[in-house]
Amino acid sequence: MAIRPLASHYLPFELPVKPHDERICKLEDLSKQNNMDLSADIAQQVAAREKVLAEIFSKLTPWERVQVARHVHRPQTGDYVELMCEDFVELHGDRAFADDRAILCGLAMMDGVRFLLAGQHKGRDIQERQACNFGLPQPEGYRKALKKMLLAEKLQLPIVTFIDTKGAAPDVGAEERGQSEAIARNLMLMSGLKVPLLCIVIGEGGSGGALALGVGDRLLIQEYAYFSVISPEGCASILWKDAERKEEAAAALKLTAPELVALGLMDGIIPEPRGGAQRDHQAAARTLRAAILKNLRELQSVPLDQLLEQRYRKLRSLGKYREAVLHNIGAATLG
C-alpha cells in the first residue's frame, strides 16, 4: 500500500518525503493514462525517496517513533488477518455481557499451521473506530480473549496475540464491570496456559491494557512500535503536570524497540519496511508472517513441561531491583 500524497497523512518529520510521493504518483498516473513506459523515471524517484526515508528513519527520536506507532495508515490486527491468514473463523462474545470489537479473536491458519489469534483492533474509519472504542478494550473484551485462549488450550492450539492499544477503557462503565479484575485474571491464567503463547506488539503497547495480552513464552515487537507502562502524555501529566512535555517523557520511558530489547523486556524485533509498516502493508505482513511461523515452530518443538518452566522463569526475571542495607537504621531504632 503506497500512501497517496495528502498532507494530513504525513507526520511532521515525514514532510520531506511528500514531494517524492507526489512525483511518483503523477508518473504512475501518466503512465497508465497514456500507455507510456516511464519505469526509468519512476525508479529514479523511488530511489530518491528511499534515500530520504533512510536518512529520516535512521535518527528518529523516541517521540517520533511513538507517532509512527500511531500512524493513521499503520496496519492493524484486522488488516494482518486479511493479508496473512489463509483461513480465519472469527469467534465472538465473552458469554457474560457483550462482544467487544476492540479485541478480535478467531481460529487462524497460515502455511498449514493452525492457531488462535487474539488482537486489539482500533478501527480503520470513523464508524469502525467508534464501534471499537478507538482501540480501548472493555473488560468484556479481555474476558472474550481469555475465553478463546482457554478454548485453544482445550484444542491444543498455540496462541498468538497482537498488542495495539493506548490502554484499557478507563470509563465508569468499564470500572463497574470489573476492568482491573479482568486484566488481572488474564495475567494470572495466561501465565499457566498449557500451549505455546506468542505475543507481538504491532503498534501501541500502553499500560495494563497492553499487558493483558502480553504474557507469554515470547514477546516480540515490530521495529517502530512501542511498549510502556504509560503513554508519554500520561507520564508527562503525572510527573510535570504538563502533557506538552511528552517528548521528554518518551525519552525517559525507554519505550522503543531497541531499548526494550536492551532491557530484556522484549525477545526480538520484527523489521518493518523502510518508512514504517504504514508505507507497505503487504511487505510488513510478509515479515510478520515469517516471524510468527518461525517462532511458533520453535515453541512447539519444546516439551510442554520445559515450556512452562521457561515461561515461569522468564516472568520471574522481569525487572531489576536493589536491596538496601538497613542495619544502621535498625540499630538506631532498637537503641
Give the span between the Cα atoms of 304 and 299, in whole angstroms: 9
Q: pLDDT tens, 264-274?
A: 999 999 999 99
- Residue 263, pLDDT above cutoff 80: yes
Residue 325's pLDDT band (boundaries 50, 70, 90)? low
The pLDDT of residue 9: 81
The x, y and z cell numbers of residue 217, run together, are 513464552
Q: What is the dihedral of CA 266, 272, 278, 284, to 10 degrees?
A: -100
Helices (H), 171-280: 172-176, 179-190, 207-211, 232-240, 246-253, 257-262
Residue 31's pLDDT band (boundaries 50, 70, 90)? confident
Q: What is the mean pLDDT of residues 179-208?
A: 96
Report how far apart, in Å, the C-alpha atoms of 75 and of each of 1, 68, 123 are.
10, 11, 10
The pLDDT of residue 334: 46
Report how far apart, in Å, the C-alpha atoms of 246 and of each of 20, 238, 316 are.
30, 11, 31
Give the span between the Cα atoms of 113 and 304, in whole angstroms: 18
What predicted TM-score, i.e. pTM, was given to this entire model? 0.89
Nearest to 144 by CA among 196, 193, 95: 95
Q: Answer for the pair 5, 49: CB distance below 8 angstroms, yes or no.
A: no
Share of the chain above pLDDT 70, in %: 93
Q: pLDDT tens, 201-243?
A: 999 999 999 999 999 999 999 999 999 999 999 999 999 999 9
Q: pLDDT tens, 116-129?
A: 999 999 999 999 99
Residue 324's pLDDT band (boundaries 50, 70, 90)? low
Residue 176's pLDDT band (boundaries 50, 70, 90)? very high
Helix H or strand E encompassing 74: none
Contacts 24+ apart (CB under 8 A), 266-272: 266/201, 266/219, 266/220, 266/221, 266/227, 267/218, 267/219, 267/220, 268/218, 268/220, 268/221, 269/220, 269/221, 269/222, 269/223, 270/200, 270/220, 270/221, 270/222, 270/223, 271/223, 272/222, 272/223, 272/224
Q: Which residues contact 332 (CB under 8 A, 6 or more apart)?
A: none
The pLDDT of residue 224: 97
- Residue 138, pLDDT above cutoff 60: yes
